């Protein structure tokens, strides 16, 4: 019996979220993976390490097809260039044709997005349109889209259900809100072809327990957790840590976020991928119900000061910080209601704050220079 595996295209698969998604897809032993990445904020070394973890996880009697599927095909390309995706789809034909796409490639920093909005719209919107055009031509019309909790803006209901109004307050959030609309319109226009799920991420944190892959942003980290980890190994200690605002309507005045372990978040993409199959409950929704969005979060909010304290416990570093003014685009509380994803996708975030902090520190302490950049 031939062990056939469907091929999945993952733009952005060499990055932090993407690398863990690629690993989770490989660990199912049901798919082959092709990654498209331009290494703007990622390193090809992550793919080599993913392959090692996937191979090491195989049983001794694993088939040759399973072993071959632990090898990731890597295409260097920029999603803003139309031929990038055309080349990727043209490379695979017949039984090896690309079945579905998990899009995690994007610019993603809230603060930065307000400084360079044209770049954010160019990458996150133009790149998405290029992908959808190529998908339609290749008849590979299954998509898992990485969206964001920032599409909710300042929500009135906490924890946040998917029924909350979409009212993004940052450029980054608006690119994700517009992206969701484009995908839904595409599914509505071609209900017999397209099927898509948007996953609204809350705050990914942690790393794979092996310490082989983790978050390694180029330059100074724009997010709290990788910054705390890099400070603890001696990077970016001057001028200390800035906490943006302590006058929010939260228990300690600092922003509250729903932190979800990266392995839980990555596993949610496999749940979504399974839901896109022809025999899933999702596939039976009446037209135009071929598109739906789900929250991926833990369902528990933690403040900036609580996260600093959690990292202090695992690293032993004191984290001097100062309170500064609020940052444009930040909202007081983004805590998920993940119950819909649990009910309809079978998603469940099982790791806790201690797991996230420990695994993050395990990655950073073993890789003080990340994937080796100087």
How far, in Å, CA of 220 to CA of 201, rounded?
A: 22
- Answer for the pair 105, 127: CB distance below 8 angstroms, yes or no: yes
Tell me the C-alpha to C-alpha distance, in Å, between residue 44 and each of 33, 75, 290: 14, 10, 34
- Answer for the pair 20, 270: CB distance below 8 angstroms, yes or no: no
Neighbouring-strand partners of residue 33: 8
Helix/strand/coil percentages in the chain, nearest 5:
40, 20, 40
- Answer for the pair 125, 178: CB distance below 8 angstroms, yes or no: yes
Number of alpha helices (DSSP H) and beta strands (DSSP E) in the chain: 13, 13
| Marked catalytic residue, from 16, 172, 248, 259 | 172
| 248 assigned to active site | no
| Chain-centroid distance, C-alpha 267 | 10
Angle, helices 224-232 vs 304-315, to 10°: value is: 30
- Answer for the pair 42, 15: CB distance below 8 angstroms, yes or no: yes
Q: Please give the full DSSP string across 116-165, using - where no structure is assigned.
A: SHHHHHIIIIIHHHHHHHHHHHHT--EEEEEEEGGGG-S-SSSSBPTTSP
Class of residue 116 by CB neighbours under 10 A (exposed 0-12, middle 13-18, buried 19+): middle
| Chain-centroid distance, C-alpha 213 | 14
- Answer for the pair 13, 19: CB distance below 8 angstroms, yes or no: yes
Q: What is the b/e burial string over 36-58, where b = at least 16 CB atoms within 10 angstroms of the residue's CB?
A: bbbeebbbebbbebbbebbeeeb
Catalytic (active-site) positions: 172
């Amino acid at each position: 019996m031939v062990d056939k595996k469907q091929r999945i295209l993952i733009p952005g698969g060499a990055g932090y979220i993407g690398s863990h998604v690629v690993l989770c897809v490989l660990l199912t032993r049901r798919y082959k993976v092709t990654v498209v990445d331009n290494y703007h904020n990622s390193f090809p070394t992550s793919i080599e390490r993913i392959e090692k973890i996937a191979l090491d996880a195989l049983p001794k009697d694993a088939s040759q097809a399973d072993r071959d599927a632990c090898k990731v095909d890597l295409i260097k390309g920029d999603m803003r260039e139309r031929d990038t995706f055309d080349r990727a789809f043209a490379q695979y034909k017949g039984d090896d044709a690309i079945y579905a796409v998990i899009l995690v490639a994007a610019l993603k920093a809230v603060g930065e997005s307000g400084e360079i909005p044209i770049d954010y719209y160019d990458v996150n919107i133009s790149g998405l349109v290029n992908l959808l055009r190529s998908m339609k031509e290749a008849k590979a019309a299954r998509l898992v889209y990485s969206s964001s909790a920032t599409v909710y803006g300042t929500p009135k209901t906490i924890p946040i259900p998917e029924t909350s109004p979409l009212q993004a307050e940052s450029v980054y959030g608006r690119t994700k809100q517009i992206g969701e609309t484009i995908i839904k319109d595409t599914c509505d226009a071609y209900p017999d072809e397209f099927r898509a799920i948007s996953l609204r991420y809350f705050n990914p944190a942690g790393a794979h327990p092996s310490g082989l892959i983790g978050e390694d942003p180029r330059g100074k980290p724009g997010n709290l957790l990788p910054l705390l980890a890099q400070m603890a190994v001696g990077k970016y200690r001057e001028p200390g840590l800035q906490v943006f605002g302590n006058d929010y309507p939260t228990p300690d005045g600092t922003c509250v976020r729903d932190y979800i372990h990266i392995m839980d978040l990555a596993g949610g993409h496999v749940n979504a991928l399974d839901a896109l199959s022809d025999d899933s409950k999702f596939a039976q929704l009446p037209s135009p119900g071929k598109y739906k969005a789900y929250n991926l979060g833990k369902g528990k909010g933690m403040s900036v000061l609580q996260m600093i304290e959690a990292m202090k416990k695992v690293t032993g570093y004191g984290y001097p910080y100062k309170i500064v003014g609020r940052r444009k685009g930040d909202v007081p509380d983004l805590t998920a209601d993940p119950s819909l994803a649990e009910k309809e996708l079978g998603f469940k975030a099982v790791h806790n704050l201690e797991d996230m902090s420990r695994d993050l520190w395990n990655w950073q302490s073993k890789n003080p220079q990340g994937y080796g950049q100087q």
